[in-house]
Structures are given as structure tokens and as C-alpha cells.
Structure 1
Amino acid sequence: MRDWSHLVPGWVLFLIFLTFFVGIAALGVRLLHGRAKRVCGAEPKWLDLITHTIMIAGTFYALLLALTAFSVYGTYNQASLSVATEAADLSALYRTVSEHPEPARTQLQGLLREHVEFMVNEAWPAYQQGNSADGELEAENRVHRVLLKFNPKSEKEGQLNSLALSELEKWSEARQLRYTYTTAALPTTLWFTLLFGALVVILLSCFIPTQTRRTSMILVCAVATMISLLLFVVEGVDEPFRGAIVVSVDPYVKAGQAFD
């Protein structure tokens, strides 16, 4: 979705979707209901034709909307899992470096604590604004330099340092995977297709011949309301770190609490 959608709270965005599509539905019924009745009289099989057309258009649109919803929700779950994995790898690295002798131990622990504070207080707010977090690589590089410069004085310390380097590599891989989700979003073309398809389905529904305009209004507005709700859900989880439902930073918070 475009950046403007992140400038308002989620419930306001839902009201925008609802007002727009229900408004289109109401306007469509007022303009097209009488015409549908005239066409129905001139075309004996009009009900069969419009029903068949709506079934085809509605089925294709429902499939597209459902697949899109499953896709963005899957991306959201993967992003949440990547954050949890990254925090777990960071905790494992912290436990490993805590066995190093001084002064390396205190230096490494301090770097990891600083990184957790940076992610919670600076990186996450930056992601929610659509910006990158400058300095995210700094802690990783500094930890790497300290481990490379560490001079083990025994075989045990050498094995411990090798284990720390291995844990650092796992953390780095998890961090890179998580970072790819910070810019994940549906392409503009797909959003255009979803919105335009919604208008087509709603306007086609206005051509269903009913005895009264009130009946047509209720039916078409119900369709518009459901479409608004589903589109809001898709938008909410579309960008895992920016949408109305963002990936939680709790795994990092809990990791930082375990460091203390």
C-alpha cells in the first residue's frame, strides 16, 4: 500500500475503506437499479446472464483476494519467526561470550546489550516509518573484531572462541533474513488489481434486478462491507514492520531482560 496508509491508525483506515466502497455501492444502486429493471424487462434471460457474469467475476476476484491474504499472512508469520530466531541466536551468542575471560567478556556483553537497546529503541521505530536503521551492522562487526582479536591461552578458550564465532555466524544469517522482511510489500500493480476488481464486483452487483431499491442497497452494501474488511486485513499485514499489525519486538525485549 502507499505510504499515506501508514499515516492513520488502523481503525481509521478501515473506516476509509468502508466509507469508500459502501459509498460506491450506494451510488451504484441509485444510478443502476432502475436501469437494471429496464434491461431485465427487455432481456428475458437477464437474471441468468448477470448471475453467470457475477459468479465468474466474483469467483476470480475471491480467489485473487484469498490467495493474496494467505500470501501476506504467510509473509507476516515468517517475519515474526525470523525475529524470534534472531533473538534466540543472539541470546545463544550472549551465553557463549559470557564464558570468555576478562576483559573480552565484559566488552562482548556490553556490545550485545547495546545492540538490543538499539533494536528496541531505534531500529523498530525506524522500520515502522519505512526507514532503514543505520548502525544495525555496527554491533555485529564490532563483536566479530573482538572475537578475531581474542588470543586464547588454553585449548578450552580456543574452542569457546570458535563456538562464539559459529554463534555469531548464525546470528548474522538470522539478522540478514529478518532484514529482508522489513521492506516486504505487495507490488503496486497487485494493489491496483485488488481495488479495481472490488469496484467491478460491486458495480456488477448493482445490476441484479430486485423488486425494491432498498433490497438491492442492502445486498450490495453487504458485499462492499465484506470486501472492505478483507482488504483492510490484507493491508494490515501487508508490510510486517509497517502495517496496522506490525511484527512485535518482544523477542528482543525478552532477550535483553535475560542479559541483565
Structure 2
Amino acid sequence: MKIYWLYSVPSWLSCTLTVAAFVAFGLAGLYLTRGWVRRLDSKEHHAYNHIVGFYMAGTTVLYAVCAGLLAIGAWATYSDVQGKVDHEATALGALYRDIGAYPEPARSILEQDLRTYTRQVIDVGWPMQRRGIVPNNASSVLNDFQQHFMSYEPQDERQKILAAEAYKAFNDLTESRRARLNSVTGEMPGPLWTLVIAGAGICIAVTWFLHPESFTMHFWMTILFAGLLALLIFLIAVLDNPYRGKTSVSPEPLERVYEQIMVPPNDAQPEGHSEH
């Protein structure tokens, strides 16, 4: 069940639309079934309310367990994706620091390759990920870095040790990048979304069989119950696609690495100069 349109609008609007859709469904069913329920249950005695109450309790508890587990799983996925980005940023920073000890001209060439790679990921790749597209724009830059890196020949034991550490960091970076790209299209399977949506509809439908004396009370109970289910489903949807929408995993760890480690000295603000 694809609901990608929710991610193309601001979060407050998509949340409002989700709540409005469920509340409209709940109220429409309430008005359509009101007369039929009144004929089934005596208006004076309301004999079936306690039966509906027990049935509703069992249904909502079962649904709450299922939806709660899915929400926890979605949050775990979101946190795992954030961890992948953090790991890639850590590996990128370590590799940049390692090659900072290389002699010229290899150092400048390799540093420029990594700066270009970082900007490609942040400026080009990340917007593609937010649309559910697996970016491949930075592969050529990383291939150039690998070619330049492998062409460097260490001259002494110190350089050999340094090259070995840099090679380890480079492997860590490529593995982290691959893990991030593999997580771009990860999402909850369609059958689970069917369970979430259909289960919420069934829970709301059960409330229609209640026959309280006050219709106003029934009206507001339906609104609150449908709104609560809508918020839970919205939460699962937001966390289910960590790269999509406004509430998504950002490239902030990579941006920090670029700004704190990679910014060329001539781009840095001179000492003693402050902005006014």
C-alpha cells in the first residue's frame, strides 16, 4: 500500500489529512448505521451495550498490540538508518584525517576527491534518497579516489603503516555507503500496511454498534477514537520511510564532517575577524 504522497507535503498537513480521513470515516459510518443500530437495540434498555463493550475491548487490545509492535519496529528501523549515516560520517572523517599525513601531491588530490564525494552525497544524493531513488552519482568520484589512492606507493615503513590504516578506513567507508544505499528502499511490506489500515477500520466500525443515550457523547467518542488511531498510523508511516518527508534522517553528520574537517583553509574565516 503506497502512501508516498504523504511525504510530499509538510508533516503538519499530512498529519491533519490522515486524522481528517479517519474521523470522516468514523462519523460517516456512525450516521449511516445509527438508525439500524437503534432498531436492533431497544432505545429504552440499551441491552447490547455491554456486549459491544466487551467485544470492543478485545478488538482494540489486539489491534493495539499489533500496531504497537509495528511502531516499535519502525522506530528501530529509523534508528538503525540513522546509525548507518553516523557510521559513514565517522569512516569518512577517519579516512580524511589519515590521508592528511600523506606527502604532496597525493594528499591534495585525495583530499579533493573526498571533498567532492561528500558534497555529491549531501547536495545531489540526499534529495534523490528523499524521493525513494537509490543515488549512484557519487560512485564515479569514489572510483577516482580509489584509483588515486591505489596508485600511491609508500616509501618507508611509516608510510606503509599509514597506507594500511587509510585502506582500512576506505573499506569501512565503502561498506557504510553500501549499507546506506541498501536501506533507501526498505519499508514495511504491503500486507502489514493492509493489517494496520484494515485493523483500524474494524476498530472504528465496532464503535458504531454502541447505543448510548447521548448521541453527542457517541459523536465525540468516535472523533477521539478515530483521531487516536490516525495519529498512531501516521507515526508508523513517518518512521517506516526514514529518508522520506520532512521528518527524516538528515545528512547532518556528513555536513559536520565536511565543515569541521574538510573545509579548505582558504575558505575558513580569518582569525580575529567576526561577523556583524
Partner letter of residue 144 of structure 2? R
Distance in 2, matches of 1:79 and 1:132, equals 14
Spell out structure 1 runs of 4+ moving beyond 6 A. none
Superposition pairs of residues 142-157 of structure 1, within 5 angstroms: 142-157=144-159
Distance change >3 Å, CA 120–CA 255, structure 1 → 2: same
Which residue number corresponds to residue 21 of structure 1?
22
Does residue 220 of structure 2 align to residue 226 of structure 1?
no
What corresponds to 1:70 in structure 2? Answer: 72
Q: Are 1:185 and 2:159 an aligned pair?
A: no
| Kept in 1: contact 2:122–2:251 (CA 8 A) | yes
| Structure 1 unaligned spans of 5+ | none
In the alignment of these two chains, the number of paired residues is 260
| CA apart distance, 1:8 | 2.0
Structure 1 residues 187-196 or 199-208, which shifts more? 187-196
Judging changes above 3 Å, is the alpha-carbon distance between structure 1 residues 4 and 44 closer, same or farther for their aligned structure 2 residues? closer
RMSD of the alignment, in Å? Answer: 1.7
Map 1:1-260 to 2 at 5 A: 1-41=2-42, 46-257=48-259, 258-260=261-263
Instruction: Tell me the distance in 2 between the aligned counterparts of 1:90 and 1:136.
Output: 14
Which of the pair is proportionally richer in helix?
A: 1
TM-score under structure 2 length normalisation: 0.89
Q: Cα offset for 1:145?
A: 1.9
Q: Is the contact between residue 144 and residue 165 of structure 1 (CA under 8 Å) also seen in structure 2?
A: no
Partner of 2:267: none
**Cα offsets for 1:136-180 (capped at 9, x unmatched):** 322332222222211111111111111110110111111112222
Partner of 2:270: none
Shift of 1:44: 7.5
Q: State the identity %.
A: 24
Residues in 2 aligned to 1:244 and 1:135: alpha-carbon distance in whole angstroms: 23
State the secondary structure of the residue aligned to 1:210: coil
Q: Aligned-pair distance for 1:45?
A: 5.3
- Could you tell me how far 1:83 is from its partner in structure 2? 0.5
